[in-house]
Amino acid sequence: RKEVEQDPGPFNVPEGATVAFNCTYSNSASQSFFWYRQDCRKEPKLLMSVYSSGNEDGRFTAQLNRASQYISLLIRDSKLSDSATYLCVAAGYGGSQGNLIFGKGTKLSVKP
């Protein structure tokens, strides 16, 4: 089975801190990667796609390392509202659809 592994946390950090999550994927054929955010008892929502060259969206930076098969998410200047579970997703194994593999999520708690 194709796997995506994440540290479940929780990561407890103070407001303003920088926090980084890593995720590893087992299938080297994966072609697309995402980070989703899931608030407690809510549906997942796309936070950002992860591109080979790395990409940044405000306080969030995503990196992809294909050689080591890991994806990272860096959150700078953490806000209370960043408290959520962050899901790593690997997909696109070529050909068939429905091959998004979700990690179990990393829980972040930002404290005042």
Partner 1 sequence: NAGVTQTPKFQVLKTGQSMTLQCAQDMNHEYMSWYRQDPGMGLRLIHYSVGAGITDQGEVPNGYNVSRSTTEDFPLRLLSAAPSQTSVYFCASSYSRLADYYEQYFGPGTRLTVT
- 25 counts as binding partner 1 under rule CB under 8 A: no
Q: What are phi and psi of 59, to 5 degrees?
A: -85, 0
Ranges within 66-105 binding partner 1 (CB under 8 A): 87, 91-93, 97-105
Report in angstroms how near the CB of residue 10 gets to partner 1 at its nearest.
Answer: 14
Residues 10, 57: Cα–Cα separation, whole Å: 23
| DSSP structure string for 8-58 | ---EEEETT--EEEEEEES-TT--EEEEEEE-TTS-EEEEEEE-TT-EEET
| Residue 11 or 78 having the CB closest to partner 1 | 11
Contacting residue, 18, 46, 54, 65, with partner 1 by CB under 8 A: 46
DSSP character for 94?
Answer: S
Of 10, 20, 45, 111, the one binding partner 1 by CB under 8 A: 45
Part of the chain binding partner 1 (CB under 8 A), chosen from 9-17, 36-44, 54-62, 72-80: 36-44
